[in-house]
Amino acid sequence: MTPTVPLREESMAKPASTATSRVRHWLSGLSTSGRVGLALVILWLVLGAAGPLLAPYDVGAFVSPEVFDGLSARHWLGSDYLGRDVLSRLLSGAQYTVGLALVSALLASATGAGLALTATVSPRWVDEVISRFMDTLISIPSKVFALVLVAAFGSSLALLLLIAAATYTPGAFRIARALAINLNQMDYVQVAYARGEGRLYIATAEIMPNMIHPVLADFGLRFVFIVLLLSGLSFLGLGVQPPNADLGSLVRENISGLGDGALAILAPAMAIATLTIGVNLLIDALPGRGRRITRGR
Amino acid sequence: MGAAQDHVQVSGLRITAPAAGGQETPIVSDVDFTIPRGQVLALIGESGSGKTSIALALMGYARGGCRIAGGGVRVGDTDILTLDASQLRTVRGNRIAYVAQSAASAFNPSRTIMDQVVETAVGRGPISRPAAEAKAVNLFRALALPQPEAIGERYVHQLSGGQLQRLMAAMALMTDPELVILDEPTTALDVTTQIDVLRAFKRVVRQQGATALYVSHDLAVVAQVADRIVVLQRGRVREAGDASQVLEKPADIYTRTLMAAARPPAQVRPHRPAPQQATPVLEVRGLTAGYGRVEAGVPKIPVLRDVTLSIAKGTTLGVIGESGSGKSTLARVIAGLVAPADGQVLFQGQPLAPTLSGRTREQFQRIQLVFQNADTALNPAHTVSRILGRPLAFYHGMDGRARNRRVAELLDLTQLPACLADRHCGELSGGQKQRVNLARALAADPHLILCDEVTSALDTVVGAAILDLLAELRRELDLSYLFISHDISTVRAICDDIAVLYAGQKVEMGPRNGFGDAPFHPYTDLLIGSVPEMRRGWLEEKETAAAPPPLATAQSANLCRFLPRCAARVEGLCDRLPPPRIVLDGGNELLCHHDGQALQHLQRGRQSAISP
């Protein structure tokens, strides 16, 4: 936050060490739960990137004679409903959830917030056009929309990403616009207008820093929704195509093991939980965390 | 007066707030005072002096994070601090009642007033709903509320601030409390409203025989209601005693500072006659502005009507009026934030474009706007150096070292320590924020600064320091100000010329000297007469000034706006014809049917009747 360098750092710090000290400073400002969240997010990013390389078996290989097997030395997380290795499927599936959901949630939130800022600082008619367009988007049922697009273009990861982003952009836009419109009335923004500032400066320097925290909280929520949407699409056969599966589909395809408490369903469920909790813990610990301390009760 | 007769006794009270590293900082230390039964004690101090914390401690309550760390509070025979939560609940609202500063936010907007007023009484006591309502109506009448039988059926948005404040008092008094705590109940009100509310409070508290604690920062208000005064500074008692003693012979130096700051002395400075040939810095001609669709030069909701003013170079024009008079809209129109419906604004002889998009950067730079509330006028996400650096970069293209140097100069100019540059404004005090707010305007190197109530949100001592700073900057930088305020004593102290707005009309304008003595416009007279004087008994003397009877006919748009409240109106003239603009001998320009002599006669006559 504050650009002050910790005192123990020598004043003639080299650029690299300034960067590390800044990271250290930022970390020391993070609460415990924030650090836990950061660790979880980093873990999942690594697993998402390197997962397929770490997987002991091929993702579609039938390697166990038992279905819903418990943990063993050969299969660390047991086997699934078809006798495939759960760990391998989990490691291979992480990239879809982390990559697809994270990227499309980022895309949805960034587009929504960007359009909201544009609508706020632009003349009224621009706001009207953007808002009505978003209303139109929001009125289309997301599953039907996805069905039509997949039918037209065939299922691909890029298309899934766009569908998820387009489905959640209007919501992000509405929340961000409500925030930005309120901030636009604040005296400091009015002073900036009276100073003759351009719209871009007002949107990015005056309004955005003050709405970033609620927008991030909203992003966390949308991320969870998108994980669920993607697994829903997979269930319909529109999402990630077998034998690959994202974490949501792993839960769904092993649903029959729920009664036995099979690891095949618990492990991916836990994976989704740790990922979403990690993202939300980290977001809650981000900017604006100072504000909450004063409200202590 | 033995200790046994004191109704409320506070001894050695200590309240602490959590600080960094698990430590606790004291916010109130070793406060002792007593209130005899049926008397009013006033707690006086600046913000941060702990006066509200003490008031809340009397109900056994500490605000979020704070803790009552020691001492005792006794009300009647009850030791408040030893009660548990459920016992406290029966005491609060029943035996001890609290009236907060902002009644508008203390009422629930979706329920009728009556519902809320009788709620505590019906829920707690044996009293039935109809009986409670009858009692409430009696209280409404005692508090001089209009239509006491019907007012309970209204909602918050249908009532004025002064009425809500009195309704809140009615709510507090419903359970016949033995102790009433009034926390800055008139601070948010206009002076003309304040006087009515004070009068109502005083009478009702007397009638009920309740003991009262009155929390305020305004000594003049306290002088009207208090029997005893306790002066606080940073959580400690500086002086305590009888009201007359504290007000007339203050023993403590801090009390004297407070009293001096409450009534700023006129800055003795010869009125500089502006050179005749020079064009004024700002000229406003026939300005009409408001909100909503404009038809034939008049907006749907007009806020300003046909306002004409001018400010000569290096002078200060004060604009006063109560809330809703259009003062802030005037500043916004000049700054270009609100487009006028009709009329013209000229800056240094050049007409200004009505909206922001038509103005040049030079014009933006030379006119700077300073808002009342520095909390909302400074971006909480930016550091002080970024806030001050932006106009430097934007107007003057400064960057790097030159900018930092200029930021340091500006901090110095506004008497702020250089170390503040890296702080966020949330870490500054109210006075510091207002100085940063001012420094940002100065960074542009302006010719005219529009000051919208810049001292209203500040404590008197801090506000007085800001006024000194403004005067000094004007001398050094040859600035002109448009100084908007609701406080006539502030305006009289620092302005060369004064304009009085009422409901968007300029009812009087003239040099400062013209506002020293009668005759005035009847509204100016009311404004000046409503400012409490710092002596006891002033409120009672004022009681002789009767409010005018309500108007028989509905008011048309062209007539005098002040007509319904005017004590000097003439039936058959004022309610028929629009008022002419007249010029008095002293140079004041008035919008009134009376001439100077008649006004002089009316106002002198009443003044002598009041103080024989």
DSSP annotation string for B436-468: HHHHHHHHT--SEEEEESTTTTS-HHHHHHHHH
Residues B399 and B480 in one domain: yes
Contact residues, chain B, for A210 at CB < 8 Å: 379-381
Question: Does residue B597 sit in the same domain as residue B550?
Answer: yes
Kindly list the residues from chain A whose CB atom is less than 8 angstroms away from the CB atom of residue B17: none
Any idea which residue has 């790097």 for tokens? B400
Average model confidence (pLDDT) for chain B?
84
Q: Tell whether B550 and B589 lie within a shared domain.
A: yes
Residue B611: predicted pLDDT: 37
Q: Does B244 lie in the same domain as B135? A: yes
Checking DSSP bridges between strand B78-79 and strand B67-75, what pairing results, if any? antiparallel
Q: Across residues A205-225, what is the average pLDDT?
A: 88
Under 8 Å between Cβ of B283 and B482: no
Domain final residue, candidates B515, B534, B552 = B515
Is B18–A296 a contact, with Cβ atoms under 8 angstroms apart? Answer: yes
pLDDT confidence bin for A293, thresholds 50/70/90: very low
What's residue A296's pLDDT? 32
Q: What one-character DSSP code corresponds to residue B249? A: S
Question: What's the pLDDT at A141?
Answer: 85
CB B89 within 8 A of CB B66: no
Whether A210 contacts B381, CB under 8 Å: yes
Among candidates B364, B378, B380 on the partner chain, residue whose Cβ is nearest the Cβ of A195: B364
Segments in chain B below pLDDT 50: 1-3, 268, 270-271, 607-612
Chain A: nearest CA to B216, how far in angstroms? Answer: 25
Q: Determine what percent of chain A is predicted with pLDDT higher than 70.
A: 90
Residues of A in contact with B394 (CB under 8 A): 195-197
Give chain A positions within 8 Å (CB) of B444.
Answer: 195
- Residue B335, domain member (yes or no): yes
Answer whether B197's CB lies under 8 Å from B187's CB.
no
Burial class (CB in 10 A: 0-12, 13-18, 19+), A167: buried
Neighbours of B257 (CB within 10 A): 17
Assess whether pLDDT exceeds 50 at residue A297.
no
Q: What is the CA radius of gyration of chain B?
A: 26
B25 domain residue, yes or no: no
With CB atoms and an 8 Å threshold, state whether B371 touches A206.
no
Q: How far is B335 from chain A (nearest CA, A)?
A: 6
Q: Which of A268, A234, A242 is nearest to A254 (CA)?
A: A268
Chain B residues touching A187 at Cβ < 8 A: 371, 373, 376-377
Same domain, B362 and B223: no
pLDDT in tens, B589-607: 888 888 878 887 777 655 4
Question: What are the structure tokens assigned to A42, written together?
Answer: 């980093």
Q: What is the pLDDT of residue B612?
A: 32
- Does residue B292 sit in the same domain as residue B143? no
Is there a domain that residue B8 lies in? no
Bridge-based pairing state of the strands B480-485 and B497-502: unpaired
Average pLDDT over residues A280-295: 60
Q: Search chain B and give the residue with CA nearest A3.
A: B422
Q: Is residue B73 part of a domain?
A: no
Q: Which pLDDT score is estimated for B206?
A: 84
- Residue B362's CATH number: 3.40.50.300
**DSSP code string of B268-317:** -----PPPTTSPPSEEEEEEEEEEEEEETTEEEEEEEEEEEEEE-TT-EE
Residues of B whose CB is below 8 A from A295: 64
Among the listed residues B8, B105, B4, B22, the one whose alpha carbon sits nearest the alpha carbon of residue B58: B8
**B134 in the same domain as B192:** yes
Hey, are the CB atoms on B377 and A295 less than 8 Å from each other?
A: no
Distances (CA, A) of A123 to A112, A128, B333, B334: 18, 9, 19, 21
DSSP string across A157-175:
HHHHHHHHHHHHHHHHHHH
Domain limits for position B183: 35-64+85-258
Q: What is chain A's mean pLDDT, rounded?
A: 81
Residue A294 is predicted with a pLDDT of 37
Query: To the nearest whole angstrom, how far is the Cα of A211 from the nearest Cα of chain B?
Result: 10
Identify whether B451 is part of a domain: yes
| The two structure tokens encoding residue A282 | 């980290």
Question: What pLDDT, in 10s, does the model give residues A3-58?
Answer: 443 443 333 434 445 677 777 777 777 788 888 989 998 998 898 888 888 878 88
Contact in structure between B475 and B548 (CB atoms under 8 Å): no
Quick one: pLDDT at residue B481?
92
Strand partners, B307: B287
Domain count for chain B: 3
* CB atoms A196 and B337 under 8 Å: no
Residues B401 and B306 reside in one and the same domain: yes
Provide, as residue numbers in chain B, all residues whose Cβ is less than 8 Å from the Cβ of A190.
332, 337, 369, 371
pLDDT tens-digit readout, A150-198: 888 887 888 888 888 998 999 999 999 999 999 998 889 999 999 988 8
Report ipTM (2 d.p.): 0.76
Distance from CA of B378 to the nearest CA of A (A): 5
Q: Residue B410: helix, strand or coil by DSSP?
A: helix
Q: State whether B444 and A195 contact (CB < 8 Å).
A: yes
Find how far residue B153's CA is from the centre of its chain.
29
Question: Rounded to a whole number, what is the distance in Å from the CA of B175 to chain A's nearest CA?
Answer: 29
Same domain membership, residue B350 and residue B213: no
Q: What percent of chain A has pLDDT over 90?
A: 22
Final residue belonging to a domain, choices B474, B500, B515:
B515
CA closest to B371 among chain A residues: A187
Question: Is residue A1 pLDDT above 70, yes or no?
Answer: no
SS3 content of chain B, % helix, strand, coil (to 5): 40, 25, 35
Contacts of B348 (CB under 8 A, 6+ apart): B279, B281, B366, B447
Of B336, B368, B422, the CB nearest to A2: B422
DSSP-assigned states of every residue in B165-184: HHHHHHHHHTT--SEEEEES
**pLDDT for residue A8:** 39
Spell out the domains of chain A, with CATH numbers in brackets.
32-287 (1.10.3720.10)
Nearest CA in chain B to A2: B422
- CA dist B44 and B217 (Å) reads 5
Widest CA span in chain A: 75
Judging contacts by C-beta atoms under 8 Å, the chain A residues touching residue B382 are: 205, 209
Pairwise CA distance, residues B547 & B544, whole Å: 9
The β-bridge relationship of strands B316-320 and B497-502 is parallel
Q: Which of A266-270, A289-293, B373-377 has the lowest mean pLDDT?
A: A289-293
Rounded CA-CA distance A269/A248 in Å is 8
Chain B: which residues have CB within 8 Å of chain A? 18, 64-65, 332, 335-337, 356, 359, 361, 364-365, 367-369, 371, 373, 376-383, 390-391, 394, 422, 426, 440, 444
pTM of the model: 0.78
Q: What is the rounded CA–CA span in Å between residue A35 and residue B319?
A: 55
Closest residue on chain A to B452 (Cα): A187
Residue at B156 is within a domain = yes
CB contact under 8 A, A186 and B376: yes
Residues B546 and B564 in one domain: yes
Residue B397, in any domain of the structure: yes
Last residue of a domain, one of B500, B515, B530: B515
Inside any domain, residue B21: no
Same domain, B220 and B295: no
Contact criterion met (CB < 8 Å) for B364 and A196: yes
The phi-psi region of residue B550 (left if phi > 0; otherwise alpha if psi is between -120 and 50; otherwise beta) is beta
pLDDT at A111: 95
Same-domain pairing of B153 and B294: no
Least confident of A27-31, A226-230, A243-247: A27-31
> Could you write out the DSSP letters of every residue in A240-289?
SPTT---HHHHHHHTGGGGGGT-HHHHHHHHHHHHHHHHHHHHHHTSTTH
Contact A209 B382 (CB under 8 A): yes
First to last CA, chain A: 25
Q: From chain B, pick out residues whose CB is under 8 angstroms from the CB of A194.
A: 335-337, 356, 364, 367-369
